[in-house]
């Protein structure tokens, strides 16, 4: 009897070995019916329930291998028109692993060795078949072992792949977390640093006021000036705190990506800047702009920041002219916001996007230094980039890219 190992359910998918351990599906490739019958009788005598098919051409073999699973292939070495090596070739075409045994009238030693090297499992001479049944049993067991091993390897490989995929996911999250932590540290440092400046001013002037007052040396115009500085400090802290809050909100804002028409967004932005535009006589020009994938409100913020900067940093005594154009390249829309303002020197082109870094003092151009850092975050959240090119005293052009059409954003907006 065949050793009755319980067949592992998972191993079944590799091939379908017969569940009944006594069932033996034998494909006999022999042109002699009687020779075939002899061998099958031998197998039946050993206790197997033999289900045979006899074939003798390549097409029949292909058909047989295609039709159903087999447990054993018995091949006569010399069939006119279809030899054992041809049969082996067909067998290999199908990539199955079933014992392939040659049973032949005569076979030279060299041929036998060649056959074994080619992948034949064993060979027998028709007139000395004594060890045939034992050999069949052995080959069936070994085939089963190989099946189980392959199944186990497949399982392992699948698990390894899943693990690798999970690791990659984890690494992505870890990287995001690291970046988020760095930003948080940076943010906290900047917040505390930039808030302590006006606080110091407030504290010092309160003390100075009180001191002078107590010794009766406080002149009214000095009092006014000192109180003025205190109020300035308070305003500055207030503005900074509000600015930081809105910056933080922008970074964490949920956004709903959709198809957005920039010219519609711009129309809204221009009307919200109406007062500024009137006061300065600003001229805003824009033409056809490509539809982008993004959040309409955030796009409005981007344009609002860039346009209000262009108007604010205008040349004294000149109408600010701002032009918005765009081009399409590599599935991205590249926007240009050009102005005729005071410009930015090359050494500052990167600094302008850093939070709180300003190029001018509060008296000439009041501001917090938040606008461009917020704009940069918004553009980057859309998967785009932002940069500037400028000639001092001539003007500046801000470039930013936004995705067109179907492209998924790193944050997971699947489009």
Partner 1 sequence: MLPATRIVELLLIEDSAADVRLTQEALGEAGADVNIHVVPDGAAALQFLRHQPPYVDAVRPDLILLDLNLPGIDGREVLKQVRHDKSLARIPVLVLSSSTAPEDVNGAYDLCANCYLTKPLHFNEYIRLFRDIDQFWLRTARLPERGT
The one segment of 61-69, 153-161, 226-234, 391-399 that binds partner 1 by CB under 8 A? 226-234
- Stated as kind and residue range, the H or E segment containing 172 is helix 132-214
**180: helix, strand or coil:** helix
- The set of residues, in sequence order, having a beta carbon less than 8 Å from that of 82 and lying 6+ positions away, is 29, 56, 57, 58, 61
Looking at 92, 146, 157, 193, which residue binds partner 1 (CB under 8 A)? Answer: 193
- Stated as kind and residue range, the H or E segment containing 102 is strand 100-104
Nearer to partner 1, 190 or 326 (CB): 190
**313 counts as binding partner 1 under rule CB under 8 A:** no
- Token pair, residue 352, equals 């302008």
**219 counts as binding partner 1 under rule CB under 8 A:** no
**207 counts as binding partner 1 under rule CB under 8 A:** yes
**363 counts as binding partner 1 under rule CB under 8 A:** yes
**59 counts as binding partner 1 under rule CB under 8 A:** no
Give the Å distances, CA to CA, from 53 to 37, 101, 309, 328: 11, 15, 87, 67
Least Å distance, CB 208 to partner 1, is: 5
The one segment of 255-263, 359-367, 372-380, 407-415 that binds partner 1 by CB under 8 A? 359-367
- For residue 51, the number of C-alpha atoms closer than 13 Å in the C-beta half-sphere is 12
**131 counts as binding partner 1 under rule CB under 8 A:** no
Nearer to partner 1, 78 or 360 (CB): 360
- By DSSP bridging, strand 49-55 and strand 23-29 are parallel
- The set of residues, in sequence order, having a beta carbon less than 8 Å from that of 5 and lying 6+ positions away, is 144
- By DSSP bridging, strand 100-104 and strand 122-125 are parallel
Task: Determine contact, residues 126/104, Cβ cutoff 8 Å.
Answer: yes
Site string for partner 1, 318-357 (x = CB under 8 A): ------------------------------x---------
- C-alpha–C-alpha distance, residues 115 and 109, integer Å: 10
Nearer to partner 1, 171 or 222 (CB): 222
**201 counts as binding partner 1 under rule CB under 8 A:** yes
Looking at 203, 223, 241, 328, which residue binds partner 1 (CB under 8 A)? Answer: 203
Looking at 16, 106, 196, 408, which residue binds partner 1 (CB under 8 A)? Answer: 196
Q: Is 185 exposed, middle or buried (0-12, 13-18, 19+ CB in 10 A)?
A: exposed
Least Å distance, CB 409 to partner 1, is: 35
- By DSSP bridging, strand 386-391 and strand 395-403 are antiparallel
Least Å distance, CB 206 to partner 1, is: 8
Looking at 85, 94, 229, 349, which residue binds partner 1 (CB under 8 A)? Answer: 229
**360 counts as binding partner 1 under rule CB under 8 A:** yes
**399 counts as binding partner 1 under rule CB under 8 A:** no
Looking at 12, 59, 171, 197, which residue binds partner 1 (CB under 8 A)? Answer: 197
Least Å distance, CB 173 to partner 1, is: 30
Looking at 148, 263, 321, 358, which residue binds partner 1 (CB under 8 A)? Answer: 358
- C-alpha–C-alpha distance, residues 323 and 272, integer Å: 17
Task: Determine contact, residues 97/6, Cβ cutoff 8 Å.
Answer: no
User: Which residue bears the tokens 């018995």?
Assistant: 74
**Binding stretches for partner 1 (CB under 8 A):** 193, 196-197, 199-201, 203-205, 207-208, 211, 225-226, 229, 232-233, 348, 358-363
């Amino acid at each position: 009897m065949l050793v009755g190992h319980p067949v592992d359910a998972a191993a079944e998918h590799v091939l379908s070995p017969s569940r009944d351990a006594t069932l033996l599906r034998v494909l006999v490739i022999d042109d002699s019916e009687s020779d075939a019958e002899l061998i099958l009788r031998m197998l039946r005598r050993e206790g197997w329930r033999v289900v045979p098919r006899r074939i003798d051409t390549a097409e029949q073999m292909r058909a047989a291998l295609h039709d159903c699973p087999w447990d054993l292939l018995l091949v006569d070495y010399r069939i006119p028109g279809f030899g054992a090596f041809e049969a082996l070739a067909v067998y290999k075409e199908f990539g199955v692993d079933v014992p392939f045994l040659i049973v032949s009238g005569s076979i030279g030693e060299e041929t036998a060795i060649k056959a074994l090297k080619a992948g034949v499992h064993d060979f027998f001479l028709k007139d000395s078949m004594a060890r045939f049944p034992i050999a069949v049993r052995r080959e069936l067991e070994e085939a089963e072992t190989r099946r189980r091993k392959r199944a186990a390897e497949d399982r392992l490989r699948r698990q390894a792949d899943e693990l690798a995929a999970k690791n990659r996911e984890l690494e992505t999250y870890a990287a995001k977390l690291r970046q988020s932590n760095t930003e948080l540290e940076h943010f906290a440092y900047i917040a505390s640093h930039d808030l302590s400046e006006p606080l110091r001013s407030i504290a010092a002037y309160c003390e100075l006021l009180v001191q002078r007052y107590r010794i009766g040396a406080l002149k009214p115009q000095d009092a006014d000036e000192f109180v003025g500085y205190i109020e300035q400090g308070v305003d500055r802290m207030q503005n900074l705190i509000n600015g930081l809050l809105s910056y933080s909100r922008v970074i964490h804002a949920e956004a709903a990506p959709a198809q957005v028409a920039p010219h519609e967004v711009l129309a809204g932005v221009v009307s919200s800047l109406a007062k500024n535009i009137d006061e300065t006589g600003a001229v805003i020009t824009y033409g056809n702009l490509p539809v982008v994938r993004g959040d309409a409100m955030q796009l409005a913020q981007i344009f609002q920041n860039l346009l209000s900067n262009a108007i604010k940093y205008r040349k004294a005594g000149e109408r600010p002219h701002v032009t918005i154009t765009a081009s399409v390249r590599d599935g991205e829309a590249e926007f240009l916001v050009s102005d005729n303002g005071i410009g930015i020197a090359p050494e500052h082109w990167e600094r302008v996007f850093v939070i709180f870094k300003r190029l001018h003092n509060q008296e000439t151009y009041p501001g917090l230094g938040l606008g461009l850092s917020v704009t940069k975050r918004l553009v980057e959240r859309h998967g785009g980039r932002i940069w500037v090119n400028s000639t001092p005293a001539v003007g500046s052009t801000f470039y930013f890219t936004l995705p067109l059409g179907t492209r998924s954003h790193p944050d997971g907006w699947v489009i």
